[in-house]
């Protein structure tokens, strides 16, 4: 078995890694908060959240607060499990080196 078996290609990009990291320690985060924390553009953040949603790693909820649209993100149980596997694989890789 390869030492990189559980490294998840979906988390290769720093923005996706950042999204998951923020959502693992927060119940949820909205679009503007993620954008601010990660220094991402609107389009960049939108494409990465869509990729994570397609894999069913995050859940996207759209709502209105007053008259303003608000998009809220949270991890799914699958997303949490896959991210933990990914982090554990990275730690094993680091400790083996």
Range of the domain at 67: 9-96
What does the buried/exposed string (b/e) look like for 60-94 if buried means 16 or more CB atoms within 10 Å of the residue's CB? eeeeeeeeeeebbbebbeebbebbeebbebbeeee
Whether 47 is in a domain gets the answer yes
Number of domains in the chain: 1
Distance of CA 14 to the CA centre of its chain: 10
pLDDT for 4 equals: 74
| CATH code where residue 41 lies | 1.10.10.10
Whether 44 is in a domain gets the answer yes
Whether 33 is in a domain gets the answer yes
> Tell me: the pLDDT tens digits for 35-76?
999 999 999 999 999 999 999 999 999 999 899 999 999 999
Whether 68 is in a domain gets the answer yes
Whether 1 is in a domain gets the answer no
What's the average model confidence in pLDDT over 66-92?
Answer: 95
């Amino acid at each position: 078995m390869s030492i990189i078996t559980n490294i998840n290609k979906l988390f290769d990009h720093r923005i996706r890694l950042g999204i998951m990291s923020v959502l693992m320690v927060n119940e949820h985060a909205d679009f503007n908060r993620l954008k601010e924390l990660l220094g991402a553009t609107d389009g960049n953040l939108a494409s990465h959240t869509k990729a994570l949603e397609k894999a069913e790693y995050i859940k996207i909820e759209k709502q209105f607060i007053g008259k303003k649209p608000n998009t809220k993100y949270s991890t799914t149980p699958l997303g949490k499990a896959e991210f933990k596997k990914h982090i554990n694989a990275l730690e094993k890789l680091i400790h083996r080196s």
